[in-house]
Amino acid sequence: MEGLPLLGDKFPEVVVKTTKGTKKLPEDYKGKWFVLFSHPADFTPVCTTEFYAFQQRFDKFKELNAELIGLSIDQVFSHMKWIEWIKENLNESIEFPVIADDTGALAKTLGMISENKGTNTVRAVFIVDPKGIIRLIMYYPPEVGRDVDEILRALKALQVSDKEGVAMPHKWPNNELIGNKVILPPPANEEEKEKRLELLKNNKIEGYDWWLSFKELKE
């Protein structure tokens, strides 16, 4: 793969050391979604709040057939000691593996290290689907913690989009304009456009115009 991975690319095949043993990515997660997220360093305040938040929602990710994987360029023993500290002081057991990318090889491949932000990994998030395809990428600077609920929301939105063939509005399912409804794909040609306008005119579908139409999700 040349350059940094992009949306729609296959996640690079790598063997990594983790707190749960050696793992092959994406092979070991075939048939499941996984969320790989990097943090600048162990034993840092913002990262600790994020790890706590990810673990608090661990079961919610599981319900969506998704696994969590942490990563930083610290070594395994540092990860384990930090996880031990979280359990002893915050009463939360970290159940997901944390990659020890001590050479920085994977972090560099995934664009997790920015020369403008020092030598540690930034706060990157990769959501990868059951076929090993990268579906979402987020980058946050070290000084800004992520919203784990947004990552969970984005994961669910991707899954619904795939299943229903629709697009998801801002802040779905709590959009200011259309609530929990989802957006229909735009017409592909003039004929489909006219059909869409007719459906709107006869109240067969909802929408503001032929290019902004939406529907309720079926239970």
List, by residue number, the catalytic residues.
47
- The DSSP 8-state label assigned to residue 65 in this structure reads T
Rounded CA separation 113/118 (Å): 8
Q: Where are the alpha helices (DSSP H) in the chain?
A: 45-56, 58-63, 76-90, 105-109, 148-164, 190-201
Residue showing tokens 């929990």: 180
Rounded CA separation 8/88 (Å): 40
- Token pair, residue 26, equals 């994406």
| DSSP state string for 4-46 | S--TTSBPPPEEEEETTEEEEETGGGTTSEEEEEE-S-TT-HH
Residue (of 115, 135, 138) closest to 125 by Cα position = 138
- Cα→Cα distances 202→92, 96, 168, Å: 55, 51, 24
Residue (of 123, 121, 169, 179) closest to 147 by Cα position = 123
